[in-house]
Each structure stands twice: as structure tokens, then as C-alpha cells.
Structure 1
Amino acid sequence: MAKGLDKYLERANIVSGFGKNLARRSKSKCELCEATGVKLSVFEVLPSKEEPDYDRCIFLCDNCINLLKNIKKSKENDFRFLSGSMWSETPIVKATAIHILNEIKGKYSWAEELLENAYIEEHEKEILNTISFEVK
């Protein structure tokens, strides 16, 4: 049991160490909703690889993290901000936004309309096809 905890803590330490570079990349804004002046945390987009991967991490505010944990329970306007982040130049941010839009498109017509206009490159499609937000 201790080995599992040690491994978890080591991984968490490495992932949190990405924060400085993520703050630079995001200009200290939430990479999904662009909130500023709020606490931001490193969010590792699942599934994760054996070793922590900076390119699978996003800098998010607590509100966005909570929304990601409850996508199915979202209200109509909870994810409207994705209209901006779906055009992000950061592949994991863009793929995450499009993944969420795909999750809610049957529920909200505006999400379907955004997806009709989305442009995603091949390497971004590969990332998109791996994303999962299953909460452990």
C-alpha cells in the first residue's frame, strides 16, 4: 500500500511542478474560460501515461475543474466559454474543448453549431480520440 501512495505522491509532485510553465503558457489565465485573478491548478487530462506529460496538462480554475467532473449535469450556459477555447493554439486545450462540446451537443443546440465550425488538425484529432473525464 505504501508503494502505491509513494508513487501517487511522486506523480502529483511532478505534475504540480508543471505549474510554472503552464502559468507562462496560459499567461496566468484559466485555459478554458480565461478567468483571471483566481486560483489556478494543474489539471492532467486523462488517460495519463506512465510518466506525467506536460502536453496532457491544462491550467484551470476551480470552476472549470468542477464542471469537468460533472459534464453530464451541466446547465445550458455552463460551457459557453468553449466558443473561445475551441480555437486555442495549445492542442490539449483545443481537444479538451471539442471533447466537451461533443459530450453536450445532444443537449444544447449551440454546442452542435460550434462543432460545425470547428477545425481540428490530424494531430489534434489523435489527442481528442484519447480524452476521457472519468472521475476515479
Structure 2
Amino acid sequence: MSIEKDLEKRSNGVCELCGSNEDLKAYQVNLNDDGLDGSVLLCGVCNSNVDSPKEIDMNHWRCLSDSMWNENQIVQILAYRTLKQLNDPWANELLDMMYLDDEAKAIAEAGIVSEDDSEVKKDANGNILVEGDSVTIIKDLEVKGAGFTAKRGTVVKGIGLGDVAGHIEGKVNGTKIYLKTCFLKKV
């Protein structure tokens, strides 16, 4: 019996991440540096995007809220790696709920594909922010330590991405501050 037939039987003929039955193929999951592998059955969309999950619609990966509880530990490890790479608030919440024993978590962490560039920062509408963009504040924000409130509707020009996750740098009222990206809209 071929590996794909075994996987099809184990998964009841559906993608082990999203549940689709379209274009199913075996996907090799590298479990450690010794070359130990495990396989999962993935649909064409998951198979071509699991190594770089941010390149497709984020909503596709919401299926991981189910697959992270799969009884097969290889599927759990792949779900963990994918959620970790997404680095989105909802994905991080799922990671907080997910349980992997210490050995499985170490394997999952070791296999995460790291990106050379920094975190992709997005505004409240999901638009990607880049250095030099202009944004509008969508909620009155009290600026701690500066003694003023950044008012809704204020345009912040020439933002900097900085290195604080989920924040950008910008000048408001002549003061350089960090602003949470979830309270901003790209102009």
C-alpha cells in the first residue's frame, strides 16, 4: 500500500489541515535534524502554502483551530508551526490554547521556517504598512507619559516600522511615539 493510500485512509480522504478533498497529496514534515520524517495528507492550497502561510488569505488558516486538536501528533506539529509563522492575534490565541508535550513542542519549534525580514505589519483593515506610509488614527489614544491624547482622525505621516511587534513609530503633536497598528488605517 502506498504512503498516499495510508494517509488517505487515516484522514478519511480529506486534507488533514483544512478538511478539503481537492487535489490531495502527501506532504513530508521534517521532524528533526536527524532526517526523521512524517507525512500528512494536504490539499493543493495547504500543500503549496504551508511553508509560507502569510502568502494566502489568512482566513484559509482558520481551519487550524480544528486541526490543532488532531489525534495525530505530526498534524499537531504542522498546525503549530503554521500558526507560529502566521504571527497574527487570532493565531497566537490558538497557540496559547494548544497543548503539545515538551518533546513535540521542541520538534515543532525547531522546524519553524524563519523569515529574514521583520514582521509584516498591517493596519486595522489588513493593509500592509511599509516604511514612510501615512496612516490615520481611528480611535482616541491616550499617550502615556506625554500628557496628551492622540485624537481620532489624526494623520501620521512618514511612519517607521520599528522593531516592536504590532506597533509602528510616528510623530503626533511633534512627539515621536509608538502606535498599535490595530488602531490605524492606511491613507
- Mark the runs of 5 or more structure 1 residues left unpaired by the alignment: 1-15
Kindly name which structure, 1 or 2, has the bigger radius of gyration based on alpha carbons.
2
Name 2:27's counterpart in structure 1. Answer: 43
With normalisation by structure 2, the TM-score equals 0.53
Letter in 1 for 2:68: M
Name 1:86's counterpart in structure 2. Answer: 68
Matches within 5 A, 1:52-63: 53=37, 56-63=38-45
Q: How many pairs does the alignment contain? A: 114
Tell me if the contact between 2:32 and 2:110 (Cα under 8 Å) persists in the aligned partners: no
Matches within 5 A, 1:1-136: 17-36=2-21, 38-46=22-30, 53=37, 56-105=38-87, 108-133=88-113
Tell me if the contact between 1:26 and 1:59 (Cα under 8 Å) persists in the aligned partners: yes
With normalisation by structure 1, the TM-score equals 0.71
Letter in 2 for 1:102: K
3-state secondary structure, aligned to 1:59: strand
What whole-Å deviation, never above 9, does each CA across 1:51-72 have from its counterpart, x for those lacking one? 774xx11111101112214323
**Cα pair distance change 1:80/1:123, threshold 3 Å:** same
RMSD (Å), alpha carbons? 2.5
3-state secondary structure, aligned to 1:44: strand
Letter in 2 for 1:89: E
3-state secondary structure, aligned to 2:59: coil
Letter in 1 for 2:105: K
**Cα pair distance change 1:50/1:119, threshold 3 Å:** closer
**Cα pair distance change 1:96/1:59, threshold 3 Å:** same
Identity of aligned residues (%): 31
What whole-Å deviation, never above 9, does each CA across 1:33-89 have from its counterpart, x for those lacking one? 0113x2210111136777774xx1111110111221432323331211000011111
Tell me if the contact between 1:39 and 1:61 (Cα under 8 Å) persists in the aligned partners: yes
Letter in 1 for 2:48: N
3-state secondary structure, aligned to 1:21: helix
Letter in 2 for 1:35: S
Letter in 1 for 2:47: I
Q: Which has the higher helix share?
A: 1
- Mark the runs of 5 or more structure 2 residues left unpaired by the alignment: 115-187
